[in-house]
Structure 1
């Protein structure tokens, strides 16, 4: 079992991320009035184990994956908490994948202007990324995560036993964020993520997962509200969020990040950085993401323009000078178009000429 300390900053108290098996059966929170939020497709066994430990006043099932991240769903959940009379000293517990914990955190931040929040991610993507750092929110039709709040949890429990229930493709999807942490901060993660022992029950699972979490924990401790360094965690995400939007989420977040990392690697090389495209191509071949539909730069560009790293002067991309050396940069339209064309050709080759 590994414990990673996160200094939340911004006046919020620090918290601990615990990584290991069997954690759903050891949960404890000091609050007496608990609301449990989980996706409707979560294995009932997980819900029952958490209910047995925390005895929630109300349990709310929400739509699976990003279908739960809407203002309409959030309003319904808030009404359920109000009807159950969850008090100001109560707590919201988010159980499930990253989408459900994003929603649960935003509910916690909003209900009665903020109640305690705990998160129990059950997917690799949720453990490495969504559950750590206090970013909560929902989507709008115009783009992903455009409404939300910074609301750090009081504790995060990553029960590695829950990963055994994931389809292999969903596990590989979640590995994208761990691989990203290797590119931007800890290169030792790169070969470990691609190792056959990085799998549910594998010898490299717990240590690799904990080290990937530690990368994000360090960044958010130093920059909770994304005034500087935290933006580097968005490596690959500018195109990724656009792909999610333009395909109406037919391409999942982790798969979109894999595609986006390769585009960012190409842009990094075009801007004079090291050529890291072999790493990102290797990950694409390992992950085997959902093939893309026919795409054009002009279809994707408006969504990239709404990226949260954009400012009054336009879109900024997270690029890499080399492994572990991220920076923010503006890229000219000509380069963005040219590298998009090359990126599509690379994607076609990784998929044997199909998709994209």
Structure 2
């Protein structure tokens, strides 16, 4: 099956290719040599984690060597703990000790944590060096590897320090998805479902028809779902590169309640995808009350999430605690919680929801859990 290429054009930035296909990690080095910004680059630093390194580090470095790059690597701990200023500083120190200059390239090999961390490292080292994203999870392929958001966490919250850093190239080798467990697979499916609801009837109803095949990991359907999601995100990012116009906030659909679920249940209790799916269910019902979201969309979205292995959660928390958690979200403004609400498929609205209204809906949500 031939690889698919999506070109991302962001105003004020160099266009970059997102290449999607099985086995394309082997040609990474050759393709990077065709990227104008990397034509004269000699050194590469592969940043990966302890889970991914044994699986794909050697293949990535071998491909880079075939492309004429001298590749070194740094392996960080697996999981969210790697997204810290301390770990970023360790990588910067390693880069300096390797005598890497402004003509090097950072290659992020892994899931969203590695991509965010390595992108942030690249954005700041010597005031900015190129970064290449090589996502190895479905979630990172359809979401975090495209669009240029990078960052690390502070004790006060997630992603509070970061930068916008568009990659020079994205290599989404779908063969790496074979090692994902069902939990991680469903994470990616949640982001694909989110994109389809916000994007268009065409994407949404294609996904409704393809849901069983996507859940079963059909190769052709997986590649198309990734490509459709990348096209959607690329269009949003092109319209609002730095999230300053309100357009890019549509990517937060499902995340407002979802982030509160993750925080109050304890990070890791539910996958990010499961929490986002719950947030989508809540937002659609809130939309029915506030922006006339059609009830048949609420039901169709529920059925889609069920088919993708993302059932409604049985967990709930006290409404006041949920409200407080949502008000701590960095998307909140002037003390009010903002929701992306679907007026219909492909038609959304950003709504400030007052505390009393939100509390009543969160209370109904909690009571529905029994």
For residue 252 of structure 1, report the CA deviation from its aligned partner.
2.4
How big is the shift at 1:342? 2.8
Distance 1:288 1:215 in 2: 22
1:253 aligns to 2:253 (yes or no): no
Match of 2:232 in 1: 215
Task: Indicate which of 271, 279, 283 corresponds to 2:300.
Answer: 279
Are 1:239 and 2:257 matched, yes or no? Answer: yes
Partners of 1:147 and 1:319 in 2: CA distance: 27
Q: What secondary structure sits across from 1:307 in the alignment?
A: coil
C-alpha displacement of 1:159: 0.6
Residue aligning to 2:288: 269
Q: For 2:329 and 2:92, locate their aligned partners in 1 and report how far apart those are by CA, in whole Å.
A: 28
Distance in 1 of aligned mates of 2:229 and 2:71: 34
Structure 1 stretches (4+) deviating beyond 6 angstroms?
none
Judging by fraction of residues, say which structure has more helix: 2
SS at match of 1:188: helix
Name the TM-score, length of structure 2 as normaliser.
0.88
Instruction: Give the C-alpha shift of residue 303 in structure 1.
Output: 2.6
122-131 or 132-141, which moves further after superposition?
Answer: 132-141
Q: How many Å apart are 1:139 and its aligned residue?
A: 1.7
Q: Indicate the RMSD between aligned Cα atoms, in angstroms.
A: 2.0
Alpha-carbon distance in structure 2 between the residues aligned to 1:210 and 1:192:
17
SS at match of 2:224: helix
CA deviations on 1:169-218 (whole Å, 9 max, x unpaired) are 21111111100011101323431452234543434111122111111111
- For the residues of structure 1 that align with 2:301 and 2:87, how far apart are their CA atoms? 35
Matches within 5 A, 1:294-305: 294-305=316-327
**Residues 1:44 and 2:44 are matched in the alignment:** no
Instruction: Answer whether contact 2:141 2:172 (CA < 8 A) is retained.
Output: yes
Q: TM-score when scaled to structure 1?
A: 0.91
How far apart, in 2, do the equivalents of 1:129 and 1:140 lie? Answer: 22
**Structure 2 unaligned residues grouped into runs of 5+:** 33-37
Tell me by how many angstroms 1:95 deviates: 0.7
Q: 1: CA distance between counterparts of 2:240 and 2:46?
A: 29
Mapped pair 1:61 → 2:75: yes
Contact 2:319 2:366 in 1 (8 A): no
**1:44-91 deviation line (CA, Å, top 9, x unaligned):** 231111010124543111122322112222222222112212111111
Alignment size in residue pairs: 347
Aligned to 2:175: 161
1:317-349 per-position Cα deviation (integer Å, ceiling 9, x unaligned): 111111110111111212211221333345x3x
Show structure 1 runs of 5+ residues with no match.
Answer: none
* Aligned residues of 1:178 and 1:189 also touching (Cα < 8 A): no
Rounded to whole Å, the distance in 2 between the matches of 1:237 and 1:296 is 18
Distance 1:76 1:245 in 2: 27
